[in-house]
Amino acid sequence: MALDMHDIGKAIFETSQQIQKGVKSLYSHAKAYAEAEHEYRLALAREIVRLRDEKMPVSLIADVARGNMADLKYKRDLAEVTYKTAKDMLEALQSQLSGLQTLYKRQDEI
């Protein structure tokens, strides 16, 4: 099934539209990731200080603090994976667009 110039042009336009939406989406995912990282690090620092004030043995503070902040770490990790997945999907769309543009250029030769 051969694609004609119109079909390829339409696919290029649609892929470009998806890339534009993806860029906006990527920004919101990046912001959510940065905010989750910020929230986690602040809470972890506060927890470490609290545990020190309670005279917990120094060798246990890091592990206990991270354990106490597990929910925030989970949210941070989820935001990171969401951001990276959106970034990978955007890169895949850019590759698809490149392939379509190559097809469009070479269509005359076929």
Residue ranges of domains in the chain: 25-104
Is residue 69 within 8 Å of residue 40, measured between CB atoms?
A: yes
pLDDT in tens, the chain (110 residues): 456 888 888 999 999 999 999 999 999 999 999 999 999 999 999 999 999 999 999 999 999 999 999 999 999 999 999 999 999 999 999 999 999 898 888 876 66
Whole-angstrom Cα distance, residue 12 to residue 6? Answer: 10
pLDDT for 1: 45
Instruction: Look up residue 56 and give its DSSP letter.
Output: -
Burial-class residue 95 by CB neighbours within 10 Å (0-12, 13-18, 19+). exposed
Q: Nearest-CA neighbor of 44 among 29, 64, 18, 24?
A: 64
Whole-angstrom Cα distance, residue 90 to residue 81? Answer: 14
pLDDT for 37: 97
pLDDT for 3: 67
Q: Which tokens in the block code for residue 46? A: 């506060």
pLDDT for 45: 97
Residue type for 61, please? I
